[in-house]
Amino acid sequence: MYFVLDIGGTFIKYALMDTAGNISSKGKMPAPRTNLDDFEEVLFGILDEHDLSSVKGIAVSCPGTVDVDTGMIYYGGSFPFLHEVNLAKRIGDRYGKDVSIENDGKCAALAELWLGSIKGAKDAVVLVLGSGVGGGIVVDGKLHRGVNLSAGEMSFVMDKIDMTSRKAQFFGSDCSAVRMVRLIGEAKQLDDPTDGEAVFEYINNQDEEANEIFNEFCFYLASQILNLQYILDPEIFAIGGGISAQPILIERTKWAIEEIKSANPPHMANPKIEVCKFRNDANLYGALYHFFVSKEKEIVTKQ
C-alpha cells in the first residue's frame, strides 16, 4: 500500500491506495494557511495517526512550482510559507519512507494519463478549471515540465496587453470558474453567490443574463484551446475541475469553437475535447502515478 496526500487550498486529503489505484480508505483535514509550523502539525498529525509499517512510499500533490528531482517547492500557491521548503525531504526524514512530490495541476494531468480520459494518448493537454487554470501538457506519452518547470501553467498565458498600462489580461482570470460562478451569482442576487449548483440551474434553464456571462467564459476557453491546438497540436484536450461535471460546459465550449472558426476563416484546427474522468480524487491518483514513474526512473538510473 501507498499513502497519498493531496494538499489543497481548503483541505489536506489523504488516502491509502494500492498499485492499481484502488482506494482502501481516505479522509481529509482542514489545511492551515497561517504558517509552516501549523501546517506541519496537521500534516504530520495525519501521518502519525496511521500505521505506516506496511506503507511502501508516500506520494504528495502540492500547490506551487515543484522540482520533482529534489523535492523543493517554490512559491507554494495558497501556501506561500512553503516557498523553498523541501517538503519531500522533511516527510522522508521523519518517517523513513520514499517520498515523491508533484504540482497539483500536473497531478490532475497524470491521473488522466494513467487511468483517465487521455490514457494511451501520445500528445494531450489537460485543463483544470478552478480559481485559475491548472493542468499539464503530455508530449510523447510523458508529462512535459519545461526547463523552468513552468510548462502547463496555463493561468499565466496572456490574452492581450493594454498598450497604455502594459498590463496583461490572463487566461487564468478570464477562465476562472470561481469568478464566472460568482459573477452570475451576484447578477442573480443569490444569497450565496458562490453556489455553483444554483448558478448552473440558471444556465441550464437558459436564463439570458446567466448565459451571457457563461458564453463569454466559454468563448475565452475556446479561443485558448484553439491557440493550444495550433501551438502543440495534441490528439485530445481533457477538461477538468468542479464545473466539468456539468455537461453543458463541454457542449457550449465546442459550440464556441465552431462560432470562432466560422467568424475567423480560414481556421482549420479541429480540437478533440473530452471531460476528465477524475474530479475530487484526481490529485490523489496523479500523485501516486508520479511516485511510480519517479521511482522507476530512479531504479533505471542506478543500474
CATH number of 165's domain: 3.30.420.40
Share of the chain above pLDDT 90, in %: 85
pLDDT of res. 42: 96
Q: Average pLDDT of 85-92?
A: 96
Cα 20 to Cα 139: distance, rounded to the nearest angstrom = 24
* Same-domain check for residues 151 and 79: no
252: closest CA among 227, 228, 221, 278? 221
* Same-domain check for residues 95 and 127: no
In a domain, 214, yes or no: yes
Report the range of poorest mean pLDDT among 4-13, 36-45, 177-186: 4-13
* Same-domain check for residues 65 and 122: no
Are the C-beta atoms of residues 273 and 250 closer than 8 Å to each other? yes
* Same-domain check for residues 100 and 129: no
3-state secondary structure the chain: CEEEEEECCCEEEEEEECCCCCEEEEEEEECCCCCHHHHHHHHHHHHHCCCCCCCCCEEEEECCEEECCCCEEECCCCCHHHCCEEHHHHHHHHHCCCEEEEEHHHHHHHHHHHHCCCCCCCCEEEEEECCCEEEEEEECCEEECCCCCCCCCHHHCEEEECCCCCCEEEHHHHCCHHHHHHHHHHHCCCCCCCCHHHHHHHHHCCCHHHHHHHHHHHHHHHHHHHHHHHHHCCCEEEEECHHHHCHHHHHHHHHHHHHHHHHCCCCCCCCCEEECCCCCCHHHHHHHHHHHHHHHHHHHHHC
pTM more than 0.95: no
pLDDT tens, residue by residue, 25-65: 999 999 999 999 999 999 999 999 999 999 999 999 999 99
pLDDT tens, residue by residue, 203-262: 999 999 999 999 999 999 999 999 999 999 999 999 999 899 999 999 999 999 999 999
* Same-domain check for residues 132 and 71: no
In a domain, 24, yes or no: yes
pLDDT of res. 303: 42
* Same-domain check for residues 285 and 264: no
Are the C-beta atoms of residues 79 and 66 closer than 8 Å to each other? no
Residue 237 structural domain: 117-275
* Same-domain check for residues 196 and 295: no
pLDDT tens, residue by residue, 103-146: 999 999 999 999 999 999 999 999 999 888 989 999 999 999 99
* Same-domain check for residues 29 and 127: no
Cα 252 to Cα 217: distance, rounded to the nearest angstrom = 10
Confidence of residue 266 (pLDDT cuts 50, 70, 90): confident
| Top-confidence residue, 266 or 72 | 72
Domain total in the chain: 2
In a domain, 112, yes or no: no
* Same-domain check for residues 90 and 191: no
Measured in degrees and rounded to the nearest 5, phi and psi for residue 74 equal -120, 135
In a domain, 111, yes or no: no
pLDDT tens, residue by residue, 137-157: 999 999 999 998 889 989 899
